[in-house]
DNA sequence: CATGGGATTGACT
DNA sequence: GTCAATCCCATGC
């Protein structure tokens, strides 16, 4: 078994910031659709941008479960956003999946998204859930052996990806934390990073 | 019980 | 660059 083959399982055992970095290069699969994770963000209960900062509530309880659950919530009344719950039970932490590189089931993604550009299918946290058909009904389902599956890097992607870290997107609190991780040079990220970092 | 604010996107100027 | 759509739920009275 190569190191890449269980990178996703090892990521689930790490503290949330390290887990966010380690999950870049793993895969998300739902039904016939799958994509390579190219962008993530870490959220932890100790900082106010995290939903778990409010404590254990009817909305946030999955964040405090054992690692490996999906946390799916509605954003802006419209979009479903997918997170990977990490850290031991009792600690509220999760990794937001912000962008995927489409790998399989692309014609389903095109149907659901109503767009054909491959870099406009999964290049955002709301886009990728729409493309893969992931809705709120999948909240708190397991990512190992559940309907939405977290998987290892696919063939041809087993090298550790080069990462670019930066501030998280779209939040108003704890904006100083560099807890966003992107696969360097990948065109499927939700937003370009600052000029000059691409080399 | 009323209110306000989003971990966003797409359409438009 | 601006802005509306749309709804769950945390918060405050």
Q: Which residues, in sequence order, are CB contacts of A103 under 8 Å at separation 6+? A: A27, A34, A35, A36, A154
**Is the minimum distance from the CB of A84 to strand B below 7 Å?**
no
Distance CA A170, CA A144 (A): 29
The answer as to whether A70 is a domain residue is yes
Q: Which nucleotide is nearest to A53 (CA to C1')?
A: C10
Specify the nucleotide whose C1' lies closest to residue A61 (CA): C9
> Is the C-alpha dihedral spanning A122, A125, A130, A134 positive or negative?
positive
Which positions on strand C lie below 7 Å from a protein C-beta? 5-11
Please report the pLDDT score of residue A192 as a whole number: 78
| Covered bases, chain B (protein CB within 7 Å) | 5-10
Query: pLDDT per position in chain A (199 positions), as tens?
Result: 678 999 999 999 999 999 999 999 999 999 999 999 999 999 999 999 999 999 999 999 999 999 999 999 999 999 999 999 999 999 999 999 999 999 999 999 999 999 999 999 999 999 999 999 999 999 999 999 999 999 999 999 999 999 999 999 999 999 999 999 999 999 999 987 655 454 4
From CA A110, how far away is CA A118, in angstroms rounded?
8
Residue A193 lies in a domain: no
pLDDT of amino acid A194? 58
CA distances from A91 to A64, A94, A95 (A): 5, 10, 13
- Domain that includes residue A12, residue range: 3-183
A74 C-beta less than 7 Å away from strand C: yes
Q: CATH number of the domain that A54 lies in?
A: 3.10.300.10
Instruction: Kindly state whether residue A191 falls inside one of the protein's structural domains.
Output: no
Is A199 inside any structural domain?
A: no
d(CA A12, C1' C1) / Å: 40
pLDDT at A196: 47
Q: Which nucleotide is nearest to A124 (CA to C1')?
A: B8
Q: Which of A63, A39, A59 is nearest to A125 (CA)?
A: A39
Residues 42-71 of A with CB under 7 A from strand C: 54-55, 57-60
Q: What's residue A2's pLDDT?
A: 75
**Domain annotation covers residue A51:** yes
In a domain, A36, yes or no: yes
- Whether residue A95 lies inside any domain: the answer is yes
| Whole-number distance in Å between A74 CA and C5 C1' | 14
The pTM assigned to this predicted structure is: 0.96
Question: Structural domain tally of chain A?
Answer: 1
Q: Measuring from the CA of residue A92 to each C1' atom, give the nucleotide at the shortest distance.
A: B7
């Amino acid at each position: 078994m190569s190191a890449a083959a269980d990178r996703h399982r090892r990521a689930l055992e790490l503290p949330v910031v390290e887990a966010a970095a380690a999950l870049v290069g793993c895969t998300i699969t739902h039904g016939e659709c799958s994509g390579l994770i190219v962008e993530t963000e870490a959220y932890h209960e100790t900082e106010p941008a995290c939903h778990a900062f409010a404590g254990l509530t009817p909305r946030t309880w999955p964040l405090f479960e054992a690692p490996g659950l999906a946390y799916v919530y509605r954003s802006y009344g419209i979009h479903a956003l997918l997170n990977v719950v990490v850290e031991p039970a009792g600690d509220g932490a999760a990794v937001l999946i912000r962008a995927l590189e489409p790998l399989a089931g692309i014609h389903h993604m095109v149907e659901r998204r109503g767009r054909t550009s491959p870099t406009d299918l999964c290049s955002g946290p709301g886009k990728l859930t729409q493309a893969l058909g992931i809705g709120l009904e999948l909240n708190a389902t397991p990512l190992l052996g559940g309907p939405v599956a977290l998987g290892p890097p696919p063939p041809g992607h087993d090298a550790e990806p080069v990462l670019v870290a930066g501030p998280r997107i779209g939040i108003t609190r704890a904006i100083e934390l560099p807890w966003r991780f992107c696969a360097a040079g990948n065109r499927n990220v939700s937003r370009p990073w600052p000029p000059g970092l691409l080399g």
